[in-house]
Amino acid sequence: MTSPEDGGARRDMFGASGFGDTSGFGGLVTRPPQLVSSPKPYGGWFDAATQALEAAYPSFNDAIERVVVHRGELTLYIKREAIADVCRVLRDDPALRFEMCAGVSGVDYLNDPSGRRLHAVYHLLSMTHRRRIRLEVSVTAADPHVPSVTDVYPTANWHERETWDFFGIVFDGHPALTRIEMPDDWPGHPQRKDYPLGGVPVEYKGAMVPPPDERRSYA
């Protein structure tokens, strides 16, 4: 449940109330993200890395929406049209050298206050400097297009396919953006938060597994 008094924070894991909670989740409070940059200095190598990116990429201020340092991790929120160029600079600049894209994943923040609920998240690794950085691009469900980074990081190929398969983020320029987990004729993108739960029987090794809402009874 949410509370307007504290900015729409979500409380409790399951929304239950009115009785004692022994699960340990009753005190959980998840607050909405603050769409602002972390204050400088960031600390550690984060300052040197962001300064090197700014020096190597003249459009830094136009392309980077915000820089967030949270729990010892650095995340750059990037405008979608700049994602491939930023990745190329991060890969090639000697002071950065993020040579490897370890993965691309999707997130659906259904109630994102910006309206851009679908996020593509890129996890980059510098083997030269032994550093990790996260890039994040957000789009609306009505216009879920993001340029592919497969020309910069070929390892992103299958990851972008999986992110499209589950979240419906369209990676323009991908060489073969087809389903990779779900059947080719599967309707919709099942990890979106508004995708219906249950009700779909699944064939598995010749046996039919009933839909989740029919597998057990709590009566």
pLDDT tens sequence across 146-182: 999 999 999 999 999 999 999 999 999 999 999 999 9
List, for the chain, all residue ranges whose pLDDT scores fall below the cut of 50. Answer: 1-7, 218-219
In a domain, 157, yes or no: yes
Question: By C-alpha distance, which of 76, 119, 70, 120 is closest to 96?
Answer: 76
- pLDDT at 21 (0 to 100): 54
Q: Hey, is 100 helix, strand or coil?
A: strand
In a domain, 81, yes or no: yes
Q: Hey, is 76 helix, strand or coil?
A: strand
Find the domain containing 165 and state its range: 34-184
Q: Which residue has the tokens 């020096």?
A: 55
State the CATH number of the domain containing residue 64.
3.30.460.80
What the block records as the tokens of 97 is 């050298």
- Alpha-carbon span 137 to 119, nearest angstrom: 5
- Alpha-carbon span 75 to 68, nearest angstrom: 5
* Total count of domains within the chain: 1
Burial class (CB in 10 A: 0-12, 13-18, 19+), 50: buried
Residues contacting 187, CB < 8 A, separation 6+: none
Residues contacting 192, CB < 8 A, separation 6+: 108, 110, 118, 141, 166, 167, 168
Task: Say if residues 168 and 194 touch (Cβ distance below 8 Å).
Answer: no
β-pairing verdict for 131-139 and 73-78: parallel
- pLDDT at 186 (0 to 100): 86
The CA-CA-CA angle for residues 73, 167, 59, to 5°, reads 50
In a domain, 148, yes or no: yes
- pLDDT at 41 (0 to 100): 95
In a domain, 103, yes or no: yes
Question: By C-alpha distance, which of 82, 91, 80, 88 is closest to 59?
Answer: 82
In a domain, 3, yes or no: no
In a domain, 25, yes or no: no
In a domain, 118, yes or no: yes
In a domain, 204, yes or no: no
